[in-house]
Amino acid sequence: MTLVGFTALCPPLAAQTSSRARVEPVTTAKLGSPPAGSYAPMLARVIPAVVTIRVTTETMASVEIKPDGNPANAPRKIFARSGGSGVIVDAPNGHILTNNHVIDNAVSIEVVLSDGRIMSAKLIGRDIGSDLAVIEVTDRRLPQVAVGNSDKVRVGDVVAAIGNPFGLEGTATLGIVSALMRTEIGHEAFEDFLQIDAVINPGNSGGALVNARGELIGINTATGGRVGNVGIGFAIPINMARTIKAELISKGRMQRGAPGLVVEDLSYERAAELMSGTNRGAVVTGVVPGSPAAAAGIKPGAIVTEISGKPVRGAAEFNTRVFTVPLGSVLPIVIRENGKDTRHLLATAPITLSTTEHRLADDLGGIAGLVVSDIALGNPLYGDLRGSQVVRVPNGTHAASLGLKPGDVIVGLDDNNIRRTDQLLRYVDRAGMSYRLDIVRNGSPGWVRVTR
- Catalytic: which of 131, 197, 374, 438? 131
Q: Burial, 424: exposed, middle or buried (Cβ in 10 Å; 0-12, 13-18, 19+)?
A: buried
Tell me the C-alpha distance between 179 and 156, whole Å.
8
Tell me the C-alpha distance between 136 and 147, whole Å.
18
Tell me the C-alpha distance between 5 and 7, whole Å.
7
- Catalytic: which of 62, 150, 205, 388? 205
Q: Map residue 64 onto helix, strand or coil.
A: strand
Q: Map residue 442 onto helix, strand or coil.
A: coil
State the pairing for strand pair 146-147/215-223: parallel
- Catalytic: which of 62, 85, 95, 101? 101
Establish whether 131 is a catalytic residue.
yes
**Strand blocks (E) in 113-170:** 118-127, 132-136, 146-147, 158-163
CA proximity to 428, closest of 376, 369, 364? 364
319: β partners: none
What single-letter amino acid sits at 395? N
CA torsion angle 312 318 321 325 (round to 10): 160
Cα 122 to chain centroid distance, Å, stands at 21
Tell me the C-alpha distance between 387 and 350, whole Å.
22
What single-letter amino acid sits at 8? A
Q: Phi and psi of 155, rounded to 5°? A: -60, 130
Establish whether 187 is a catalytic residue.
no
Distance (Å) of CA 96 to CA 85, 90, 129, 135, 392: 10, 7, 19, 5, 43
Q: What is the largest CA-CA distance in the chain?
A: 74
Establish whether 101 is a catalytic residue.
yes
What single-letter amino acid sits at 433? M
Tell me the C-alpha distance between 387 and 438, whole Å.
10
Catalytic residue numbers read: 101, 131, 205
